[in-house]
A and B are shown apart, each in its own frame.
Chain A
């Protein structure tokens, strides 16, 4: 029941935008987004609860389409610090989190 993310990898220049998608085959209770830098543990970005909401966090925002069991993460005006691997994490109501396949984001000057 691992969610599938796309794209697998993306390279951006500073200031460019990106969208990362997360799709699940199961009905979702919530979707989390995390960023992991090399050699470090994942760090929480945001959570979206069912209800089709959209949330923002500085220049990073996300949406959740409960009916389609999909979520998207939007990164605008990317910065070098945005580089890392992004994972969605999905909850299906059993109080555990399953992580997506991951998207490696590289921001270059």
Chain B
């Protein structure tokens, strides 16, 4: 199994500012995934982060709004830029097990934009 440390666990931010969320995995992984989960909703995939290349974003998400870094095989950051109240959500990072048979999640970052 993989242990994922995600921080901060929660934050309250002013609109127009940016927040960077960090995700540290206890083992090397090829891909890291970032999800958004709005209250009472499902998880929506934001992007897939590969080490050494640009992240791949899903429809509706753009790099200018959600820049991602992946400096090595155990670490990634997601920045939520120029925040508005609509960005209030839980953000989760995730990795697959070595055989891609199971997904592990960080504990999430609960973001509130005021």
Contacts and interface: CB of A to CB of B under 8 A. Distances in A.
Interface of A: 2, 32, 34, 40-42, 44, 47, 87, 89, 91, 95-102
B42 A2 contact: yes
Interface stretch (B17-25, B61-69, B102-110): B102-110
Contacts of B100: 91, 95
Nearest to A42: B105
21 contacts: A2-B44, A40-B107, A41-B105, A41-B106, A41-B107, A42-B43, A42-B103, A44-B104, A87-B43, A89-B103, A95-B31, A95-B100, A96-B31, A96-B48, A97-B33, A98-B45, A99-B35, A99-B42, A99-B44, A100-B42, A102-B41
B92 interface: yes
Interface in B28-54: 31, 33, 35, 41-45, 48
Contact of A44 (B35, B43, B102): B102
* Secondary structure of the B contact surface, majority rule: strand
Given A32-B102, A44-B102, A96 B33 contact: yes
Nearest to B41: A102
The size bracket of the interface on B is 20 to 34
Interface of B: 31, 33, 35, 41-45, 48, 92, 94, 96, 100-108
Given A41-B92, A95-B31, A96-B48, A47 B42 contact: no
Given A41-B107, A95-B96, A102 B102 contact: no
B31 A44 contact: no
Contacts of A41: 92, 105-108
